[in-house]
Chain A
């Protein structure tokens, strides 16, 4: 694991925002590092602990508490399917099945806590359920990376996935 000098400069600057207790910088640091690496590895978490003079367990607690921190690398594109009430009623479980089928992701039957997201075999897509994406009127909704999609049917799901296939045609081994 290597932290680019520029990222470390940003991190050092962020830490100065918390003069009372460096511990408060855990969340912003984890966000910065996940943005850079795509996930928070054990080494990354330990690096944060050392950086903030904390015990590694203190950082691990935070990483495992928040579902948006990933402990393992996601696919090239990460899909989030909303499953809060309106979307659940509007077909988010069917959407999850459709997306998994189309993106060739084998989602374990008991996917959820501990293994919240599943990566497809080709490494192109990964998928997870998330809580409300704030668009209850257009259920079911999902996000791919930072892009938002509403009223997603099986057909439009296929179109969406195709778009990302074109955007990054290479297959990650």
Chain B
């Protein structure tokens, strides 16, 4: 269950003695000074430095005082009364982001010189920065605001007129740029060049007039543009999708994963009360580094679609679908299903369902004595960065749980044919639409029993005899296994609309209506039962998965986590 990337023993790393604010620490060789300070509990403020990007050292915010051991006549470091090297302090400040620690190095993160430097850099940065914080979308998560509180002056000495630059620049389909707010840290320029491999942004003009821009006539439009909004330390780059929708300090943050493809990028869902407003990438160096694609990030608005199914529906004698109570819906579905033998029933599930839901699907099929069960495969174009060709988030989970056989979708044709020829009389369709498999509304309407679980109406729910409204990915807990075989967790961020229910509960209650009590009361019970049945999940529980997931099966798809040229070079470097 250990991560395959760590199974080979790493080469021994040399540890270096470094003094940070008077205390000696040990750091592995190759540690950036700024990272060493963080590890020593001394956070150094920074704008341009980002651990996943190259270090241009242009913002000057991370200036610190640095020194090296004083060398004696014998070219050996002189030691003081404490037996530690005596440090010769460099009289000028140094940037901590572009230098690695060295043996005997001394660092002062909070000396009068370092404090004065920060204050000076803050004053320069604020000279031309508009003070439009009350209407700025970055307010509340703005580094400039935060560091102003910690290191800024309480008043401005600047009497001259501020430089004016382009505002409301339509940089691309998803990004708006305010050049007056830009502090020229170049994180976005480096991200799009180094990670997105789309060298689209740059600075034109010079000095006080330096302006971030895309080339005239070129749109900033790759599938990773919104990451620049995340890493922009100020409100220069904002997301067209999110801006002005909600002040960030009202957002509740829920750790989850993206369910738009098999990569399963780790995310933070930002929600307030019943509404999800955004999702942003969460760092996981075994999955997505610190990034996610725009397609996955924005693929959540359907959760708030006004057509959401919010109550169970039953087909009436007049052929209309009418809302009913859950108990009635389960009883009717069970009654209809009991009319048929196992071989007359098919179950079509979805690899967008969680492991827990797929496990319950398996139990449902067992209860129905039905062996014709499959999952609908879903593919798209992959890229070399994060987007997987497998657009189902839990294909590996479906395979591990043995739903749909070795090759997902291989029995779909048989199911479709069975429905057409009348061999199959009852279908349980979970989170999919049978019309996409070539069964038109007319054929579906003739089925005497069609139980459909879905969150949005589709041709199948419209033709169903019983409709069971389920929950979207942000409305439930559960686990999924990504294409690399990593078991990860979804978390509950917002409630399901109306009477819609958690999918695993719907399946549990349906099984209960068919076969009586099954002793599953909480999702933890489902996971426990599942881990008893599936050897790869043995010993695990939802809480043991943790926020970063665990490796449970060998990877189905080898996908490199995006690395900067620097990271690649560091990884290849012998220590």
A156 interface residue per 8 A CB criterion:
no
- Are B205 and A113 interface neighbours, CB within 8 A? yes
Q: Which of A42, A57, A65, A66 contacts B201 (CB 8 A)?
A: A57
B175-212 Cβ-contact flags toward A at 8 Å (1 or 0): 00000000000000000000000011111111101000
The yes or no answer to B168 lying at the interface (CB within 8 A) is no
B516 lies within 8 A of chain A by Cβ: no
Question: Which of B8-16, B213-221, B469-477 binds A?
Answer: B213-221
Interface size on B, residues (CB 8 A): 15
Judging by beta carbons under 8 Å apart, are B205 and A55 in contact?
no
Complex contacts, A113 vs chain B, CB 8 Å: 205, 207, 209
B209 near A61: Cβ-Cβ < 8 Å: no
CB distance from A14 to the nearest CB of B (A): 23
Q: Which residues of A contact B203 (CB under 8 A)?
A: 61
Say whether A10 faces chain B, with CB atoms less than 8 Å apart. Answer: no
- Residues of A contacting B209 in the complex (Cβ-Cβ under 8 angstroms): 113-114
**Interface flag for A168 (CB, 8 Å):** no
Which residues on the B side are within 8 Å of A65 (C-beta)?
Answer: 204-206
Question: With the chains together, A8 CA to B218 CA distance in Å?
Answer: 27
Q: Are the CB atoms of A55 and B206 closer together than 8 Å?
A: no
Task: List the A side residues contacting B204 at CB < 8 Å.
Answer: 60-61, 64-65
A56 within 8 A of B: yes
Residue A58 interfacial (CB < 8 Å) = yes
Do A64 and B214 touch across chains, with their CB atoms under 8 A apart?
Answer: no
Q: Are A64 and B218 in contact (CB under 8 A)?
A: no
- Chain A 113-157 near chain B by CB (<8 Å), digits 1 or 0: 110000000000000000000000000000000000000000000
- The answer to whether B205 and A114 have CB atoms under 8 Å apart is yes
B199 CB contacts on chain A under 8 angstroms: 54-55, 57-58
Contact with B along A22-66 (1 / 0, CB 8 A): 000000000000000000001000000000001111101100111
B127 CB, min distance to chain A CBs, angstroms: 16
Which chain A residue lies CB-closest to B216? Answer: A42
Q: How far is the CB of B499 from chain A (nearest CB, A)?
A: 53
Q: Is the CB of A58 within 8 A of B202?
A: yes
Chain B minimum-CB-distance residue to A113: B209
Q: How far is the CA of A64 from the CA of B218 in the complex (A)?
A: 17
Chain A, residue nearest B189 (CB): A57
A115 to B548, CA, bound (A): 53
Q: Which of B52-107 contact A (CB under 8 A)?
A: none
A66 to B204, CA, bound (A): 10
Asked whether, in the complex, the Cβ of B216 is within 8 Å of the Cβ of A61, the reply is no
Within 8 A of B (CB), among A78-112: none
A111 to chain B, nearest CB (A): 14
A54, A58, A60, A64: the one contacting B206 at CB < 8 Å is: A64
Chain A CB within 10 A, most for which of B201, B204, B207: B204
Q: Which chain B positions have C-beta within 8 A of A114?
A: 205, 209
Task: Tell me the nearest residue of chain A to B193, going by C-beta.
Answer: A55
Kindly report which residue of chain B lies nearest to residue A112, judged by CB atoms.
B209
Whether the Cβ atoms of A57 and B202 lie closer than 8 Å is yes
- A150-B23 Cα distance, complex, nearest whole Å: 62
**In whole angstroms, what is the CA distance A57 to B186 when docked?**
14
With a cutoff of 8 Å between Cβ atoms, the chain A residues found around residue B200 in the complex are 55, 57
Q: Are A64 and B205 in contact (CB under 8 A)?
A: yes
Nearest CB of A to B216, in Å: 7
Cα(A91)–Cα(B442), bound, Å: 91
User: Contacts of A54 on B, CB cut-off 8 Å?
Assistant: 199
Question: Which residues of chain B are within 8 angstroms of A42 by Cβ–Cβ distance?
Answer: 216
Instruction: Note all chain B residues with C-beta closer than 8 A to A55.
Output: 199-200, 215
Shortest C-beta distance, A170 to chain B (Å), equals: 34
Most chain B CB inside 10 Å of its own CB: which residue of A42, A64, A67: A64
**Cα of A109 to Cα of B1 in the assembled complex, Å:** 72
Complex: A56 Cα to B201 Cα, angstroms = 10
CA distance A113 to B206 in the complex (A): 9
User: In the bound complex, what is the Cα–Cα distance between A60 and B199 (angstroms)?
Assistant: 13
A58 / chain B contacts, CB cutoff of 8 Å: 199, 202
Nearest CB of chain A from residue B35's CB, rounded to whole Å:
29
Q: Judge whether A57 and B206 touch: CB under 8 Å.
A: no
Residue of A whose beta carbon sits closest to that of B163:
A113
Q: Given the complex of chains A and B, what is the CA–CA distance between A57 and B214 in angstroms?
A: 7
A50: shortest Cβ distance to chain B, in Å?
13
User: Judging by beta carbons under 8 Å apart, are A57 and B205 in contact?
Assistant: no
Q: Which of B205, B209, B216 has the most CB of A within 10 A?
A: B205
CB-based nearest A residue for B207: A113
- CB of B218 within 8 A of CB of A56, answer yes
A42 to B204, CA, bound (A): 13
Closest chain B CB from A47 CB (angstroms): 14
User: In the bound complex, what is the Cα–Cα distance between A57 and B199 (angstroms)?
Assistant: 8
Q: How far is the CB of A30 from chain B (nearest CB, A)?
A: 14
A contact residues around B214 at 8 Å (CB): 57
List the B side residues contacting A60 at CB < 8 Å: 202, 204, 215-216
Assembly CA distance A57 to B193 (angstroms): 12
Q: How far does the Cβ of A116 sit from chain B's closest Cβ, in whole Å? A: 11
With CB as the reference atom, state the residue of chain A lying closest to B211: A64
Of B203, B213, B214, B215, chain A has the most CB atoms within 10 Å of the CB of: B215
Partner of B218 from the list A57, A61, A66, A67 (CB cut-off 8 Å) is A57
- For the complex, give the distance between the alpha carbons of A155 and B544 in Å: 89
A residues in contact with B201, CB < 8 Å: 57
Choose one: A56, A66, A67; the contact of B215 (CB below 8 Å): A56
Measured CB to CB, the nearest residue on chain A to B203 is A61
B residues near A66, Cβ cutoff 8 Å:
206
Q: B547 → chain A, closest Cβ, in Å?
A: 38
New A-B pairs, 6, CB < 8 Å, besides A57-B201, A57-B213, A64-B206: A42-B216, A55-B200, A60-B215, A61-B202, A64-B204, A65-B204
10 pairs, CB–CB < 8 Å, chain A vs chain B: A54-B199, A57-B199, A58-B199, A60-B204, A60-B216, A61-B203, A61-B204, A64-B206, A65-B205, A113-B205
Across the A-B interface, the 3 shortest Cβ-Cβ residue pairs: A64-B204, A57-B202, A55-B199
B-side residues, CB < 8 A to A, are 199-207, 209, 213-216, 218
